[in-house]
Structure formats: structure tokens, C-alpha cells
């Protein structure tokens, strides 16, 4: 199953809820890389209505280097407007990582510098439009990766 990561922060409670729900529903592990920009305490998540937290697998890392080391030899695909190919052109393998940046600023330049150009992928959009919100982007790419795996373990 595809694993994906969200770098930096999920700016809105709705976005956090949607991303956690997506991870629970498609069997991904949600890897959160600090700084998060929000409090990830169980009590506060429940108060915000993030009831899918119990159904999802969540890992946290103090920084990108710790995350990258934990991922080992897995392919890490950075989803970015500066991608060199479309997300549907990738042949995803079990264990591949989908890396998303902050909704407002994307992935940090120091993180992008560590991702090979051929592993920077984009979601096609009409020209001159703003990017999709984070949870929509996560849904599009993670479900394509899962589809390519035959919706393993899905019903």
C-alpha cells in the first residue's frame, strides 16, 4: 500500500480532518513531519471532530532528514506545481511515498533539493488557476496509487 507524507502543516481543521479520513479510508500511513503548525494531541483532535484518528496509522518525525532516513530506499514522490510529469504517468509500487507540502507554500526549497527531478510530479490544472486544496490533492494522487495496486485490501 502506498504511504504518503504531509510536510509542514494542515492549515484548517477541515483539511486535517479530510487528510486523516483519507488515510484511514485508503489504508495509507500518514507521516507528519514537524513543524506541524497545529497541536496533534489526541484530546484536541477529538474536540475538533477528528474521529478517524483511531482508524488511521500516524507517524511523526522531528524533521525531513529523520523522515527520509526512516523511509530507507522507498521512492519518494514530491507533489508540486513544479513537477516534471503528471501523477498518472507514475507506476506506483507498494511502499512508495507521496510527499505533500503546506497548502499555502508547498514544499520547502531545501526539501525539494533532496527529491530527484523525475520524482517531482504534478496534478494537471488549467493555466493561471490557483492550486487545489491539500486534501483534494492528497485524494487524487493517493487514490491513483491505490488504484494501480488493485485497491488492495479495499472493499
Query: Per-residue pLDDT tens for 129-140?
Result: 888 988 899 999
Q: In which band, very low, low, confident or very high, does the pLDDT at 2 lie, cut at 50, 70 and 90?
A: very low
Q: Does residue 49 belong to any structural domain of this protein?
A: yes
Q: Which residues are bridge partners to 104 per DSSP?
A: none
- What is the model's pTM? 0.82
- Domain total in the chain: 1
Residue 154 labeled ligand binder: no
Residue 17 lies in a domain: yes
In a domain, 8, yes or no: yes
Beta strands 97-100 and 76-79 are: parallel
Supply the mean pLDDT for the chain: 83
The order of strands in the sheet holding 29-33 is 57-61, 29-33, 3-7, 97-100, 76-79, 120-122, 85-86
pLDDT at 22 over 80: yes
3-state secondary structure of 35: coil
106 secondary structure, DSSP code: B
Query: What CATH number has the domain bearing residue 91?
Result: 3.40.1280.10
The answer to whether the annotation marks 101 as part of a ligand binding site is: yes
Q: In a 10 Å sphere around its CB, with 0-12 CB exposed, 13-18 middle and 19+ buried, how is residue 80 labelled? A: buried
State the Cα torsion 93-122-108-53 to the nearest 10°: -60
Range of the domain at 53: 3-148
Among the listed residues 109, 51, 58, the one whose alpha carbon sits nearest the alpha carbon of residue 80 = 109
Tell me, yes or no, whether 84 lies in a domain: yes
Asked if residue 153 is part of any domain, the answer here is: no
- The C-alpha cell 493561471 sits at 128
Residue 19 in any domain: the answer is yes
User: 154 in a domain, yes or no?
Assistant: no
Instruction: Count the neighbouring beta carbons within 10 Å of the beta carbon of residue 114.
Output: 14
Residue 60 lies in a domain: yes
The reply, when asked if residue 20 is annotated as ligand binding, is: no
Residue 121 known to bind ligand:
no
Amino acid at each position: 500500500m502506498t504511504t504518503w507524507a504531509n510536510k509542514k502543516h494542515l492549515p484548517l481543521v477541515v483539511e486535517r480532518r479530510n487528510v486523516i479520513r483519507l488515510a484511514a479510508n485508503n489504508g495509507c500511513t500518514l507521516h507528519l513531519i514537524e513543524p506541524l503548525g497545529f497541536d496533534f494531541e489526541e484530546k484536541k483532535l477529538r474536540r475538533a471532530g477528528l474521529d478517524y484518528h483511531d482508524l488511521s496509522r500516524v507517524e511523526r518525525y522531528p524533521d525531513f532528514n529523520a523522515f527520509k532516513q526512516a523511509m530507507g530506499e522507498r521512492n519518494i514522490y514530491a507533489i508540486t506545481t513544479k513537477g516534471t510529469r503528471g501523477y498518472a504517468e507514475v507506476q506506483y509500487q507498494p511502499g512508495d511515498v507521496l510527499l505533500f507540502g503546506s497548502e499555502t507554500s508547498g514544499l520547502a526549497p531545501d526539501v525539494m533539493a533532496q527529491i530527484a527531478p523525475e520524482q517531482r510530479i504534478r496534478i494537471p490544472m488549467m493555466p493561471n488557476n490557483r492550486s487545489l486544496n491539500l486534501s483534494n490533492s492528497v485524494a487524487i494522487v493517493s487514490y491513483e496509487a491505490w488504484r494501480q495496486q488493485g485497491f488492495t485490501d479495499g472493499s
